[in-house]
């Protein structure tokens, strides 16, 4: 086993206009491009579309986990988008998706993807946490759910390159003290 530390910047926003899977992924790409100005919206959208063509990222229960790799210098992040209008994502349970939990990270550090997918996969089995995520109304509520899944998260709006820098305000809002770092063992 290889011990790994992965820290994720967290963003939460609402998509009020999308009514198809493609539109929701495009809107997601636009949001990521706002947060990562060096990243191209077209490249992000293309990567998200390509991943979705491999098979649905919907996990059921109204949640999908789209993910892709960004440029080398980008730190790992989780962007949660609430869809005001649920859209069809070919979910295993047939339920339309109203919450996108998107994983983004740099090419140099692919371990972020595996670590997050292992943790986020628990949402499929943990209905109460999934419900909390789907009904969250603030970025801090989203971050608290992700932390409950064992992810090291921070809500730094600047999305700093040093992803382990956690603002004291974010920790206090989550009711946590000290550093929010978890060792994640990968096989």
Per residue in 40-55, pLDDT tens? 899 999 999 999 999 9
- Exposure pattern of 117-144 as b/e (b: 16+ CB <10 Å)? ebbbeebeebeebbebbbebeebbbbbb
Alpha helices by DSSP H, 1-124? 21-35, 41-54, 111-120
Measured in whole angstroms, how far is the alpha carbon of residue 66 from the centre of its chain? Answer: 8
Lowest-confidence region among 17-21, 26-30, 80-84, 106-110: 106-110
**Which of 91, 88, 115 shows the shortest CA–CA distance to 103?**
115
Q: Provide the pLDDT for residue 175.
A: 43
- CA torsion 113→116→118→122, rounded to 10°? -150
pTM listed for this prediction: 0.79
Cα separation of 79 and 10, whole Å? Answer: 6
Beta bridge mates, 103:
67, 78
Q: Provide the pLDDT for residue 173.
A: 41
What average pLDDT does the segment 148-176 reach?
Answer: 54
Q: Provide the pLDDT for residue 170.
A: 38
Look-up of token digits 């419900």:
131
Look-up of token digits 């295993």:
92
Catalytic residues: 67
Alpha helices by DSSP H, 36-174? 41-54, 111-120, 127-135, 139-148, 168-173
Q: Is the dihedral of CA 2, 133, 131, 180 positive or negative?
A: positive
Q: Provide the pLDDT for residue 116.
A: 82
């Amino acid at each position: 086993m290889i011990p790994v530390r992965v820290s994720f910047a967290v963003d939460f926003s609402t998509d009020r206009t999308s009514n198809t899977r493609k539109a929701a992924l495009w809107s997601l790409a636009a949001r990521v491009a706002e947060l990562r100005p060096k990243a191209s919206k077209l490249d992000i959208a293309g990567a998200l579309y390509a991943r979705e063509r491999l098979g649905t990222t919907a996990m059921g229960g109204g949640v999908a986990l789209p993910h892709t790799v960004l440029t080398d210098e980008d730190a790992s992040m989780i962007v949660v988008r609430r869809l005001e209008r649920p859209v069809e994502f070919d979910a295993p349970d047939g339920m339309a998706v109203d919450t996108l939990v998107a994983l983004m990270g740099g090419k140099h550090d692919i371990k972020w993807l595996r670590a997050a997918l292992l943790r986020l996969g628990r949402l499929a089995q943990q209905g109460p946490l999934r419900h909390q995520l789907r009904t969250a109304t603030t970025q801090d509520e989203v971050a608290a759910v992700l932390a409950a899944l064992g992810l090291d998260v921070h809500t730094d709006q600047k999305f700093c390159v040093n992803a382990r820098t956690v603002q004291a305000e974010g920790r206090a809002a989550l009711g946590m003290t000290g550093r929010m770092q978890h060792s994640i063992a990968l096989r």
